[in-house]
Structure 1
Amino acid sequence: MIGLTTEVTHKIYTMCMIQDGTKVLLLNRPDKKGFPGYIAPGGKVEFPESIVNGAIREVKEETGLTVTEIVFKGIDEFCDPSKGLRYMVFNYLATASEGELLENPPEGELLWVDMEEALDLPMQDWFKQRFPLFFAPGTFEVSQVWIQDTNETLEATVKNYGV
């Protein structure tokens, strides 16, 4: 294995799937924003805000909607031992929100899409794999140890709790 560093940097992010009946709200991120394709709203948790409040804030900033019902669904983590990086994404499902969608959203075009058709949209492979986990019973944990520079996965774990 590549040499491990003793110093670790933690980066904490959120993602919040917004569901309204059989539809979900996705944003189409352009290439220039990174992670291009359709994805749920989310972003960096600001210190010292709580993780759930970070998710609610990110939804508001990226969509204009205020989440009124939200539940924790699981965590994704990506660890790069060569860089001492642990990148953690706390995932939520919002089943109620209020407000109007932004006319000019900052992260990309917003689209309400039927859940059955969502996976037909262009999206990152990692998001496509996690999409069903937002709607499965219980919570999930996805962990990958990988080397970012070579895109080599050394270890991967996927757990679903409470199924």
Structure 2
Amino acid sequence: MTDHSAGHSVSVAGVIVDDDGKALLVQRRDNDHWESPGSVLEVKESITDGLLREVQEETGLIVEPVALTGVYKNMARGIVALVFRCQAAGGELQTNDEAKAFLWASPEKVSTMVDEAFAVRVLDAMRAHHPGPEARHHDGVQHIPRLDEAS
């Protein structure tokens, strides 16, 4: 029997990568954490429309999605996140009610500045020759390795 009371929400995030291979990180006003821009989709919103809206709202940038780089599930909160590698196509970085600072970060900086559950998303998207989307899980803080990753 299926439990229909357990709901899920879907979020989108855009990892904007520049010509030097650095990813844009946003420092959130609500918790000071560094993350990629994104949030939960609105019910009647398409995935692409939500991605473009969220990135522009949080950064001021207009982006073009390049590839879906991962699907991630927060097991503790029931949120499924679709993460896209993006390139900037216009606009200008602007702090706002959600973002208090920006940083173009190398993979090494991402690994040290971003909580593990979110760093893996950014690092997956930063890989220049991405073979296809990853499917990963986390507990809200730490990445939960797949069986083929565990050792």
Same fold (TM over 0.5): yes
Change (3 A) 1:94 1:74: same
Q: Secondary structure at the match of 1:75?
A: strand
Match of 1:142 in 2: 136
Unaligned ranges ≥5, structure 1 = none
Change (3 A) 1:152 1:99: closer
Q: What is the distance in 2 between the residues matched to 1:124 and 1:24?
A: 15
TM-superposed CA distance for 1:69, in Å, is 4.1
Larger Rg over CA atoms: 1
Q: How many aligned residue pairs are there?
A: 144
TM, length-normalised to structure 2: 0.78
Matched, 1:29 2:23: no
Contact 1:60 1:66 in 2 (8 A): yes
TM-superposed CA distance for 1:113, in Å, is 1.8
Matched, 1:56 2:47: no
Contact 1:77 1:142 in 2 (8 A): yes
Q: RMSD across aligned C-alpha pairs, in angstroms?
A: 3.0
Unaligned ranges ≥5, structure 2 = none
For residues 103-135 of structure 1, give each alpha carbon's deviation from its aligned partner in whole angstroms, at most 9, with x where no partner exists. x32222332424245326532121223332112
Matched, 1:75 2:66: no
Query: Which 4+ stretches in 1 moved above 6 angstroms?
Result: none
Q: What is the distance in 2 between the residues matched to 1:95 and 1:43?
A: 18
Q: What is the aligned-residue identity percentage?
A: 23
TM, length-normalised to structure 1: 0.73
Match of 1:89 in 2: 81
Q: Secondary structure at the match of 2:81?
A: strand
Q: What is the distance in 2 between the residues matched to 1:38 and 1:110?
A: 9
Contact 1:75 1:90 in 2 (8 A): yes
Structure number having the greater strand percentage: 1
Q: Secondary structure at the match of 1:9?
A: coil
Match of 1:106 in 2: 97
Q: What is the distance in 2 between the residues matched to 1:8 and 1:128?
A: 27
